[in-house]
Amino acid sequence: MPDYNLNNSIKIGNRSVGKDSPVYIVAEMSGNHNNDFNRAVEIIHAAKEAGADAVKLQTYTADTMTIDCDKSYFQIDGGTLWDGKTLYKLYQEAYTPWDWQPKLMEEANKLGLDCFSTPFEATSLDFVEKMNMPAIKIASYEITDIPFIRLCAAKKRPMIFATGVAREDDIRNAIEACIGEGNRDIVLLKCVSAYPTPYEDVNLNMIPTLAKEYGCIIGLSDHTMGWTVPVAAVALGAKMIEKHLTLRRADGGADGAFSMEPEEFADMVKNVRITEKALGSSEYKLTPGQEKEREGARSLFIVQDIKEGETLTNENIRSIRPQQGEGLPPVEIDNCLGKKAAHDLFRGEPLKAEDFR
Residue 170: inside a domain, yes or no? yes
Residue 90: inside a domain, yes or no? no
If asked whether residues 157 and 221 sit together in one domain, one would say: yes
Q: Write down the H helix ranges in 215-287.
A: 228-235, 262-279
If asked whether residues 250 and 296 sit together in one domain, one would say: no
If asked whether residues 178 and 30 sit together in one domain, one would say: yes
E strands, 124-273, are 136-138, 159-162, 186-191, 217-222, 240-244
Of 223, 255, 279, the one marking the end of a domain is: 279
CA distance 227 to 268: 5
Residue 3: inside a domain, yes or no? no
If asked whether residues 137 and 226 sit together in one domain, one would say: yes
Query: Under 8 Å CB-to-CB from 115, ≥6 apart: which residues?
Result: 54, 55, 56, 57, 104, 105, 108, 109, 133
Contact 324, 349 (CB under 8 A): no
Q: What CATH number corresponds to the domain at position 339?
A: 3.90.1210.10
If asked whether residues 275 and 293 sit together in one domain, one would say: no
Using alpha carbons, list the distances in angstroms from residue 311 to 14, 301, 304, 340, 342. 69, 15, 12, 5, 10
Residue 313 confidence (pLDDT): 98
**Strand 299-302 with 24-28, pairing:** unpaired
Q: What CATH number corresponds to the domain at position 205?
A: 3.20.20.70
If asked whether residues 216 and 241 sit together in one domain, one would say: yes
Residues across the chain? 357
If asked whether residues 260 and 302 sit together in one domain, one would say: no
Residue 319 confidence (pLDDT): 97
CA distance 54 to 48: 8
Q: What's the one-letter identity of residue 347? A: R
Residue 68: inside a domain, yes or no? no
Residue 78: inside a domain, yes or no? no
If asked whether residues 234 and 340 sit together in one domain, one would say: no
If asked whether residues 53 and 124 sit together in one domain, one would say: yes
If asked whether residues 100 and 172 sit together in one domain, one would say: yes
If asked whether residues 250 and 161 sit together in one domain, one would say: yes
Query: Under 8 Å CB-to-CB from 149, ≥6 apart: which residues?
Result: 138, 142, 143, 159, 174, 177, 178
Residue 1: inside a domain, yes or no? no
Residue 16: inside a domain, yes or no? yes
Residue 142: inside a domain, yes or no? yes
Of 226, 257, 279, the one marking the end of a domain is: 279
Domain tally for the chain?
Answer: 2
Residue 1 confidence (pLDDT): 61
CA distance 234 to 22: 10
CA distance 305 to 231: 56
CA distance 356 to 307: 11
If asked whether residues 113 and 177 sit together in one domain, one would say: yes
pLDDT along the chain (357 residues), means of 10: 90 96 97 96 98 98 94 86 87 94 98 98 98 97 97 98 96 98 98 93 97 97 97 98 97 91 98 96 85 90 98 97 91 97 97 96
Give me the domain span that covers residue 156: 9-60+95-279
The three-state secondary structure class of 236 is coil
